[in-house]
Amino acid sequence: MEYKSLFKPPFSKSLKAGRVTLQPGESVGEHVTEKREEAIIVLKGTATLVVEGKATELSRSQIFYIGPEKKHDVKNNDSTELEYIYVVALLE
């Protein structure tokens, strides 16, 4: 897994964004959004997004919203590289 931060506080008030590259078979690992909202935007490849146990396939240019307090994981179950951007906003 390769990760690059695009921006985060103090550049922004509470918004964070990053670019993630996953090789075939890799995942970011299950985690919880807590008091945040998150958007996943697929740039290249196919992502398997698992939110609260339900899997959704996303391909290039598709966007997925993940609400607060949701357990989720992003996986690359494809045979090609997956590249996506995530944007996270803290709820006040």
Full-model pTM: 0.93
Closest CA to 84 of 17, 9, 11, 14: 17
Residue 10: Cβ-neighbour burial (10 angstroms; 0-12, 13-18, 19+): exposed
What are the pLDDT tens digits along the chain (92 aa)?
Answer: 999 999 988 888 889 999 999 999 999 999 999 999 999 999 999 999 999 999 999 999 999 999 999 999 999 999 999 999 999 999 97
- Amino acid 36: pLDDT: 95
Q: How many domains does the chain have?
A: 1
What is the residue range of 53's domain?
A: 2-90
CATH classification of the domain holding 72: 2.60.120.10
- Amino acid 92: pLDDT: 77
